[in-house]
Structure 1
């Protein structure tokens, strides 16, 4: 076993009468810049599934993700775990943040707490985050949380060089082949899972103190893993032999002789709680090496070999000194042969609008019917067939509107303008002649705030 025993034995009482010695992992903080806590980790080999209290500040790379996830008005609720990538970025699971409205992140007071052992301690380092990057191929529960990974950008950097209780997590290397990635971590390797407990598990006692537990990586062909895992390239099982618990989004790590390396992210447990014979499923972090690099260093990102499990996207960096054709943020296209497209980065296509009226004849005048683009503050470009059924003499009374400055059709604060005039090309042929000259321009009854609104271009 690759741990170094301290000169002073450390013991833990697991029951009133049984004392088990802990394995102490002595980090070499002089030679490594990540993966070491403020104090050394001491883990007790045990066959209990409930874990144990961690040594205070021994896992300095973990953070508590907090917002009103219980919908009770408490914005300081510990919801999920995460780990520190660098002073600007935090790593977590996509399902921890996929319900958050990205257009109003700052106003929702979503924070992370770093440099803590007890959730209620006084001296916490709190940071708000202002941007969320969710993997574009994240599937959610429909396909067993494939690509369940997200990165949070902090509005203010962490003081990694000043606060000794805040540390970066170490990431695994980029594997040269998909097969190598699929075997990392290796079958049977001992891992450590940490966290403050599982959210929404009513029969689990929630602790305020950071917990830790030994678990073991399990090969994807193992029967108890194979029936629950969705994609072996990006997921792995652990804890089948002894059970496990931890925060969703939190790290699972392995010891490399002088520091800890994060090999996974807690994604989901089977049958609603971790138990012997039912695995926990983790995101295989090495498979997302390129994606993480691209998020943190988009301008410097290069790759020279075939990417394992992720194809780097193409970023179109706009020159916003031009007066048109640029969104609020740069456009990102994923290089994929999968039909159906993928989710655009929020507000990267700020020139697009949603045209809305009662197109389904069900009385819903907010239905999205067609798309369009902004020509200037008064005019919208669209297809003639989108508006050729309207009576031009009573357009205002028909409640035709456009919604701009949106990413999600259901956003709560779209910019709405009514259409008061429609110009259809005089030689528009319609369906009988295959929609020749299928173009129209809509005039708005009130100008758009193109010069002042960041999401309207």
Structure 2
């Protein structure tokens, strides 16, 4: 599979003329930022994993690739629902639904499974200039027939209240290995740490507003990052054998792994209700349970949704007002 030559040319043109000629300019309020230009990978939509490693079989079974006139990553949530970034499927206010989804393998050149797209839904408040609400759902035309250790949906968080600051997380995708470098054939992964929200907000202050719907991650030595190829891909918190999807790769500054600028992800915990409600409205209800913002209002701890869909056999302990225990039997 290849990225459209027209889009590659457009991205190259943007890099050559829209960035290099404005090295000392003051960041503009409309979302065009220089000298540290925000990189959402609108054209090639290819982010890169810097300082990562080739993922092994079954390590990221929820990873999918979206490809057509663009290339992005995504996260499998069920047999027919994928979570990705809105900027992957929308450009210039136009929704792109003419693409396919590949999954079940590590190689970018040969996916064991491929499906056309039935429906694409972006967040109604998505803003291309500010990157707010950079989230979308993709509904498969042909659902996954069987889950295996190579194809398995990710877990959504069970609580709105986690901030994950300082936690070790993993980003993945078919990202470039260096800025403007070659795109790898094999799926890459990188271990990062969730950055303090306030420091990330301060870092991007002159470029874009980092709100509560965003989460930042990087490493202190800035030798690792997600950047061009992983747009729309997963940011996952691993707890033993249990993995929880906490972010969607959204944007960063041009260059990637730039000191002082962690990559920015859409914070999944802020969109749990939107994800569940939107998928169900599209006829693809998720097996999932989340705790309300105030689960113990009036002394009654309540939950919304159906049953929690947990990957692999394990115990989850959720502390919100009481300890809720979920055990998966498969």
Q: For this structure pair, what is the TM-score category when the shorter chain's length is used for normalisation?
A: 0.5 to 0.7
The structure with higher relative contact order (CA 8 Å, sep 6+) is 2
Retained in 2: the 8 A contact 1:54–1:212?
yes
1: CA distance, partners of 2:114 / 2:193: 33
RMSD: 2.9
- How many residues align? The count is 236
Partner of 2:109: 120
Retained in 2: the 8 A contact 1:57–1:117?
no
Retained in 1: the 8 A contact 2:246–2:269?
yes
> How far is the alpha carbon of 1:276 from its aligned partner?
3.0
Unaligned runs of 5+ in 1: 1-47, 70-78, 308-457
Query: Matches of residues 177-192 of structure 1 in structure 2 within 5 Å?
Result: 180=161, 184-192=162-170
Change (3 A) 1:236 1:164: closer
Change (3 A) 1:306 1:261: closer
Partner of 2:138: 152
Change (3 A) 1:192 1:305: closer
> How far is the alpha carbon of 1:101 from its aligned partner?
5.5
Partner residue of 2:172 out of 194, 200, 208: 194
The answer on 1:216 being equivalent to 2:193 is yes
Query: Matches of residues 428-447 of structure 1 in structure 2 within 5 Å?
Result: none
**Partner secondary structure for residue 277 of structure 2:** helix
Partner of 1:131: 119
Query: Matches of residues 345-360 of structure 1 in structure 2 within 5 Å?
Result: none
1: CA distance, partners of 2:117 / 2:279: 14
**Partner secondary structure for residue 293 of structure 1:** helix
Partner of 1:171: 156
> How far is the alpha carbon of 1:91 from its aligned partner?
0.5
2: CA distance, partners of 1:66 / 1:215: 26
Partner of 2:76: 84
CA displacement 1:82-122 (0-9 Å, x = unmatched): 010101110000000013965x83xx3x101010101123x
TM-score of the pair, normalised by structure 1: 0.47
Retained in 2: the 8 A contact 1:240–1:280?
no
> How far is the alpha carbon of 1:54 from its aligned partner?
1.2
> How far is the alpha carbon of 1:188 from its aligned partner?
1.2
Q: Determine which structure has more spread, i.e. the larger CA radius of gyration.
A: 1
TM-score of the pair, normalised by structure 2: 0.64
